[in-house]
Structure 1
Amino acid sequence: MEKTSDNSTSDVEASGEEPVNSGQHVNPRDGIKNSQWILTCIALYLGALLYGLDTTIAADVQAQVYEALGHIEKLPWIGLGFPMASVATILPFGRAYALFNIKVLLLSSIVVFEAGSALCGAAPTSDALIIGRAIAGVGGAGMYLGALTYSSTFTTKTEAPLYNALTGLSWGVGCILGPVIGGAFSVSSATWRWAFYINLPAAGILLPIYLFIVPSKNPRPDLTIKQKFADIDWIGAIIYATIFVLFMIVVTFSGSTFAWNYTTSIVLWVVFGVCLIAFTLQQGLKIFTTDEHRIFPVHFLKSRSLVLLYIATGSAGAAQGVVLYYTPLFFQFTKGDSPLQAAVRLLPFICVFIVFVMAAGATLPIVGRYNLYYFVGGCFISIGGALLCTINETTSTGKIYGYEALSAIGIGLLFQIGYAVAVAKVSPKDEPKAIGFINVAQIGTIAISLAIAGSIFQNVGFNLLKSAFAGRHLPDDYIRSALAGTLSPVFSSGDAEIIHVAVVAVAETIRKIFSLVAAAGALVVVSSLLMRFEKIDLSIVAGG
């Protein structure tokens, strides 16, 4: 049970949940050899790294994809399709991991992930590439939740923060390396297609470990397969997925593909609103579901701590997504970097992020006061984001590196600790739901922030470019093409004046996008001040 410095009861206790500590002191890895567990962790961490890699690998291949497949208006979906599909399926996966054999689910997720990756690599059209990204995103969500579920199932509460940190670190490193690896493939003879094909041999190497070494566990052996499927809130899952997909579509396409006041845009917003209301009513009134089975853990909303953890974790994810996607893009436009060179500019972020993710995971069980981590981390994100809002095409590379590093300190401190804190604040039967809840915050907000940032880039960028090119009588399609990067007609025109005007306008657009990072940091700070000033006890051994 958690201990609080002010002797107040926990939020989940107040809402009538069972106590955290079951009173049992059983080693959750009884019967598992150390060598087996080490190999299991290696496979899980490398799987999380592949998932992170695919989350951002499209950041530095979009120009080459545009050159090969065309359709600039669909470019945002190359990056968004993956996290969108992941978030749309996180809650059903979270419920499934509480019911089905976790090894079977993990292996099934890997198969789906690899199938999507293969389709992406072989995609003959942009539509096929987007579909492949969505399929891979579904599998990736299952892989990542599987890794987190293994960490929760086979570790003690003392160990869980470090194992969660290592899982998050693997995913985070993958996210950071994504633009680097994507950029390397996009300028090599292998082409951008191997940015997706690379998952196939990587999974092939790990497959024997997944098949023969990774332990198996059935969380509900008392239920039949049919009963387990019946225990999933399929109606809620479908409505939830529909809500998220509609939001991503309308935010991404409004303004760039069709005007905000266009009939299609209005209809999509209306349908999104109707689905949101329907989901709220269906979950709140338990229509065609029950308290235990509903897809969204509504009772978590009664917990101030869990709600604030959701907001703070989501804000950190949003900040990370924006920095990862738009810092390399800024260098490509303003410094003339190749995709690989621009991605390497993230190294200051990578190194600092790794150090502080590990530091937070190792020290949280000792310090216990998680709200302090969120306050300090939020301050660093706010400062780094505010400084990134000041950059322009003349800002020195050294200063930008420093601003990246400041943001990375804050993001690293917060990125993964929400999982350990959330699990510590719920009853054992709600642990899978808590993991899914925080995962929706983390991955979901990354997807939402990228959709919003992409909308700003397409809409604000186009308006700034059109204003800058006023009087030149250039067609709108030609102006908008500048947002596709250095392979666009604008940058390949050889007209130094036009290129300079485009660079200034695009740099200004990206500078505005970085305001999302500063806002995310400020939201974390506010959330930390509203959190309980308590010390959670992570020293208790989890029940078997």
Structure 2
Amino acid sequence: MVIESTPVNAINDGPEKEEDQIASELANSPPETIRAVKGWKWVFVCFGLYFSIFFAVVDTYGDVSQLAWLGVGFPLGSVATILSFGKAYGIFNVKWLHVGSVTVFSIGSTVCGAASNMNALIIGRVIAGVGGAGMYLGLLNLIAINTTTRERPAYMGGTGVVWGTGTILGPVIGGAFADSSATWRWAFYINLVVFGLLSPAFLFIPTFQPQPGIPILTKLKQLDWVGAVLNSGLYTSFVIALTFGGTTWAWNSGRTIGTLTACVVILIVFIVQQFFAIFTTPEHRLFPIEFVASRTMVILRITTACASTAMFITLYYVPIMFQFSRGDSGLESAVRLLLLIVVLSLFIMGSGAILPLVGYHIPFFILGGVFILIGGALMFTVKATTSTTAIYGYTILIAIGAGLTAQVGYIVASAKVQIQKVPAAIGFINVAQIGGLVIALAVSGTVFQNIAFRDLSKVLYPLGFIASDVRGAIAGSQSSLFSHLPSNIKANAIEVIVQAIDKTYALEVTAGALCLVVSMFLQREKLFMEISAGGA
């Protein structure tokens, strides 16, 4: 039995030449056969692959100048290398590149668990982020390679559920270990145990060589090393500027201005280097410029970034808000996200399952944008006295919107290109997802820290507190400063911090509106059509 799937334009609104060409190439590609791995071996492989991305753990430390680095360190390592991994998966053995990524992630987890200071923990987070980028792209590529077009959306949806659940449950796991005799270090060491138990699953994964018969040195020369360095420098300089600007460094200081200038210069050089394929070739350059000519691929990239922004700002700041406004411990505030987890998982998995049935992907993005916009606007109005039930309701709206759009971009992008271009297409969308996370956390961290420091200083300076006391209070709700404040001053200080957190949801309002607007320009087409064939 053979299952085939081709894009079908249901309503033609003037599709672009490039998109017609992509669809034509896909239609003329050889038909897919049923995957080689079946039965319990396939279940074991999926179990191992899915749990290899169940990784992100958020720990709390008391240094506000480095607090943002803990949240952004992991995704920074990922986004700085994701394009390189996207190219590498189109060149090297997919299975063993994935195994190597798991190894790098394990090394990063070990460094985090053994960290004796904040700097070591941050370095470990970045290393783990590099491995995490390879793991996630490896999972998506292995799923795309080893499934048919008909069943791929469900498995792609499963990656979103596991990745999102693992990320959101990170604070729960970290809080549980931190409150136990095992200490927070085992929040990282547990990754090594899990990988050790699941490593036999790699034995059943089929090997896939995108370029068989080509020597390893020739393959290494195909990588765009200059582009990789520029891409890493671009994101690193951007995050450094926004993380330290306004807190450790003044906005008008030479270091802040110099870092921002370096970011702009690197961006310009990267664009020129990629456009003219300097020190590389057009087919090997890091950034897949050909996708920029496709309206659909560009919009998919934007909507995916919007979903990532909505998801992770909620994830990162709702627990912090509950710690300040309700006096929750890290574990208690994380547990409050469980309802959001369930809703998010259901809608991510549901969108992957329903998309092949309805065929049209535009409604997912439009509805997703609407829910994110409404939920973000409501969270923007939250105060310290807002009821817990209301906050739960607002976050559920955001979860619905993010769930509807988080993984659909991957599914549509992989269906729009030939199988040889699937790694590049997945990488193109994955940069949007992780890059959206990095930018969202960097910008929201800057907004939160600067506004909270400015407004809390007005409350605490008259009482004799100094700048370091204010920064310590912002860094954690359990700061000893709060226990020494009069009840009325404490309430005022908490309200100031909650209001500063609320300002970060302006990014979600923007993300929801942007997702809604750009989705209107998607090509109206029916991408998935099931064709039955004889046989069992």
Q: TM-score, normalised by structure 1?
A: 0.94
2:297 pairs with 1:300:
no
The separation in 2 between residues aligned to 1:4 and 1:10, in whole angstroms, is 12
The separation in 1 between residues aligned to 2:22 and 2:280, in whole angstroms, is 20
The one of 126, 149, 166 equivalent to 1:157 is: 149
Q: Secondary structure at the match of 1:48?
A: coil
Aligned pairs, number: 526
- Larger mean Cα displacement after TM superposition, 111-120 or 184-193: 184-193
Alignment of structure 1 residues 87-486 onto 2, 5 Å: 87-210=79-202, 212-486=203-477
The separation in 1 between residues aligned to 2:221 and 2:199, in whole angstroms, is 31
Post-superposition offset of 1:449: 0.2
The one of 63, 67, 72 equivalent to 1:80 is: 72
Note the residue ranges of structure 2 that are not aligned, 5 or more in a row: 1-5
The separation in 2 between residues aligned to 1:194 and 1:424, in whole angstroms, is 40
CA contact (8 A) 1:349 1:405 kept: yes
The one of 5, 11, 14 equivalent to 1:6 is: 11
The one of 39, 44, 48 equivalent to 1:39 is: 44
| Aligned position for 2:3 | none
The separation in 1 between residues aligned to 2:31 and 2:21, in whole angstroms, is 26
CA contact (8 A) 1:478 1:489 kept: no
Post-superposition offset of 1:494: 5.2
CA contact (8 A) 2:153 2:352 kept: yes
* Residues 538 and 109 of structure 1, relative CA distance in 2, 3 Å threshold: farther
User: What fraction of aligned residue pairs are identical, expressed as a percent?
Assistant: 45
The separation in 2 between residues aligned to 1:152 and 1:88, in whole angstroms, is 23
Q: Secondary structure at the match of 1:40?
A: helix
The separation in 1 between residues aligned to 2:19 and 2:522, in whole angstroms, is 16
The separation in 2 between residues aligned to 1:428 and 1:417, in whole angstroms, is 18
Q: Secondary structure at the match of 1:5?
A: coil
Post-superposition offset of 1:426: 2.0
For 1:405-459, what per-residue CA distance to the aligned partner results, in whole angstroms no more than 9, with x for missing partners? 1111111111101001011122332211100010001111111101111111110
The amino acid across from 1:247 in the alignment is: F
The separation in 2 between residues aligned to 1:225 and 1:12, in whole angstroms, is 33
The separation in 2 between residues aligned to 1:252 and 1:534, in whole angstroms, is 42
The amino acid across from 1:225 in the alignment is: I
Q: Secondary structure at the match of 1:332?
A: helix
The separation in 2 between residues aligned to 1:529 and 1:11, in whole angstroms, is 19
For 1:57-105, what per-residue CA distance to the aligned partner results, in whole angstroms no more than 9, with x for missing partners? 22xx21xx32xxxx43112111211000001110111111111111111
CA contact (8 A) 2:369 2:513 kept: yes
RMSD, matched Cα: 1.7
Post-superposition offset of 1:498: 3.5
CA contact (8 A) 1:18 1:427 kept: no
CA contact (8 A) 1:12 1:425 kept: no
Alignment of structure 1 residues 48-67 onto 2, 5 Å: 48-50=53-55, 54=56, 57-58=57-58, 61-62=59-60, 65-66=61-62
CA contact (8 A) 1:348 1:404 kept: no
The amino acid across from 1:125 in the alignment is: N
The separation in 1 between residues aligned to 2:413 and 2:16, in whole angstroms, is 12
Q: Secondary structure at the match of 2:444?
A: helix
The separation in 1 between residues aligned to 2:374 and 2:156, in whole angstroms, is 27
The separation in 2 between residues aligned to 1:177 and 1:445, in whole angstroms, is 20
- Larger mean Cα displacement after TM superposition, 270-279 or 509-518: 509-518
Post-superposition offset of 1:12: 3.3
CA contact (8 A) 2:92 2:210 kept: yes
The one of 25, 43, 61 equivalent to 1:19 is: 25
Post-superposition offset of 1:37: 1.6
The separation in 2 between residues aligned to 1:361 and 1:145, in whole angstroms, is 18
Post-superposition offset of 1:23: 3.9
Post-superposition offset of 1:16: 7.2
Structure 1 residue runs of 4+, over 4 Å off?
8-11, 14-18
For 1:2-56, what per-residue CA distance to the aligned partner results, in whole angstroms no more than 9, with x for missing partners? 21123454663457786113442241523x3432222111111111222xxx1xx
The separation in 1 between residues aligned to 2:306 and 2:325, in whole angstroms, is 28
CA contact (8 A) 1:390 1:511 kept: yes
CA contact (8 A) 1:317 1:415 kept: yes
CA contact (8 A) 1:10 1:425 kept: no
The separation in 2 between residues aligned to 1:19 and 1:540, in whole angstroms, is 19
Note the residue ranges of structure 1 that are not aligned, 5 or more in a row: none
The separation in 2 between residues aligned to 1:477 and 1:356, in whole angstroms, is 43
2:501 pairs with 1:510:
yes
CA contact (8 A) 2:23 2:416 kept: no
* Residues 418 and 282 of structure 1, relative CA distance in 2, 3 Å threshold: same
The separation in 2 between residues aligned to 1:495 and 1:11, in whole angstroms, is 68
CA contact (8 A) 2:362 2:520 kept: yes
The amino acid across from 1:526 in the alignment is: V
The separation in 2 between residues aligned to 1:538 and 1:458, in whole angstroms, is 49
* Residues 386 and 116 of structure 1, relative CA distance in 2, 3 Å threshold: same
CA contact (8 A) 2:15 2:523 kept: no
The amino acid across from 1:216 in the alignment is: T
The separation in 1 between residues aligned to 2:183 and 2:406, in whole angstroms, is 32
Post-superposition offset of 1:398: 0.6
CA contact (8 A) 1:377 1:413 kept: yes
The separation in 2 between residues aligned to 1:487 and 1:16, in whole angstroms, is 55
CA contact (8 A) 2:160 2:407 kept: yes
Post-superposition offset of 1:377: 0.9
CA contact (8 A) 2:307 2:511 kept: yes
CA contact (8 A) 1:157 1:538 kept: no
The separation in 1 between residues aligned to 2:35 and 2:75, in whole angstroms, is 32
